[in-house]
Structure 1
Amino acid sequence: MMRSCIACEIASGQSPAHVVHQTDRIICFLDHAPINPGHILICPRAHLSDLTDLPDDLLAEIAHTAKVIAQQLMDTLGCDGVSLLQNNGAFNDLGHFHLHVFPRTIADGFGWKVAHPSLENLDSPARVRNSPSDVVD
């Protein structure tokens, strides 16, 4: 039995959410477990699992929407900045593509532990050369 998709349920109106913006192709709503107040998810209405599943025009619409939302968060909340976060594969806990847009403050305590690899470790055979189509395996 296939597990239901909460993002699809929200997009179809079957599950409640605080929707902040929507079009015929995307829906944006407040995260139920926000990193900071104002944390918004942008999801395609169609069930698409990962970034690599998105058609380019839909990805462009999502990116443009993220830009507009980021500016609105900075204008209305007076935050110090905005972060975007997207997880794929095993790290995508919804199983439905979603882009996190969340306000940041200097003192919010959110962050990543930064590793500082050597230059040799950065010279990976899987690096991107000149464009995404030039990825070396």
Structure 2
Amino acid sequence: MGDCAFCAIAAGETPAAMVLATDDLVAFLDVRPVFKGHVLLCPREHVGTLPDLPGRLRDPFLAAGQRLATAVVDGLGAQGSFVAMNNTVSQSVPHLHLHVVPRTKGDGLRGFFWPRTRYADGEAEEYAARLRAALA
């Protein structure tokens, strides 16, 4: 899909701090993370919402989500993770994506109010590298 930001990332046309790349999936850091290390997992092919996900991608998608949830703990020292996706409503990019957000007790995240932060120059790649190492 020509105007989809996540399709452009998956195709390598738009740079991103890549965490995981397979033939079918990509995972990269959110540019406006809830907490640093916040990863977005997407199918490479344009899929709008979870109900649209082809059956052949269900298991690989969930398996990658599990690996990323483990990686934020092992690679970033988080105590756990918040894993979520929106379908249409509140979906800022209309391409299926799973949020994997590192969590620690007392981090201030309450309900569905998601404060956003930014990475300092070069910091996104450092976080992405730590997550890649935890996935290896």
2:48 is matched with 49
Secondary structure in 2 matching 1:89:
coil
1:67 is matched with 66
Secondary structure in 2 matching 1:82:
strand
Aligned partners of 2:54, 2:101: CA distance in 1, in Å? 24
2:27 is matched with 28
1:60-89 CA distances to partner (integer Å, 9 max, x unpaired)? 111101111111211122212111010001
1:132 is matched with none
Aligned residue type for 2:109: F
1:92-121 CA distances to partner (integer Å, 9 max, x unpaired)? 1100000001100112111216xxxxxxxx
State the 4+ residue runs in structure 1 displaced beyond 6 angstroms. none
1:16 is matched with 15
Structure (1 or 2) with the larger CA radius of gyration:
1
Where structure 1 has 5 or more consecutive residues not aligned to the other structure, the ranges are 114-137
Alpha carbon RMSD of aligned pairs, Å?
A: 1.5
Aligned partners of 1:3, 1:82: CA distance in 2, in Å? 32
Map 1:1-137 onto structure 2 (within 5 A): 4-112=3-111
Q: Alpha-carbon deviation of 1:90?
A: 2.5
Point out which structure has higher relative CO (alpha carbons under 8 A, 6+ apart): 2
1:7-54 CA distances to partner (integer Å, 9 max, x unpaired)? 000011111101111111110000000011110000001111000000
Q: Percent identity?
A: 39
Aligned partners of 2:83, 2:51: CA distance in 1, in Å? 17
Aligned partners of 1:78, 1:109: CA distance in 2, in Å? 17
Aligned residue type for 2:21: Q
1:126 is matched with none
Aligned partners of 1:60, 1:20: CA distance in 2, in Å? 19
Aligned partners of 1:93, 1:76: CA distance in 2, in Å? 27
Count of matched residue positions in the alignment of Structure 1 and Structure 2: 112
Secondary structure in 1 matching 2:89:
helix
Where structure 2 has 5 or more consecutive residues not aligned to the other structure, the ranges are 113-136
Aligned residue type for 1:30: L
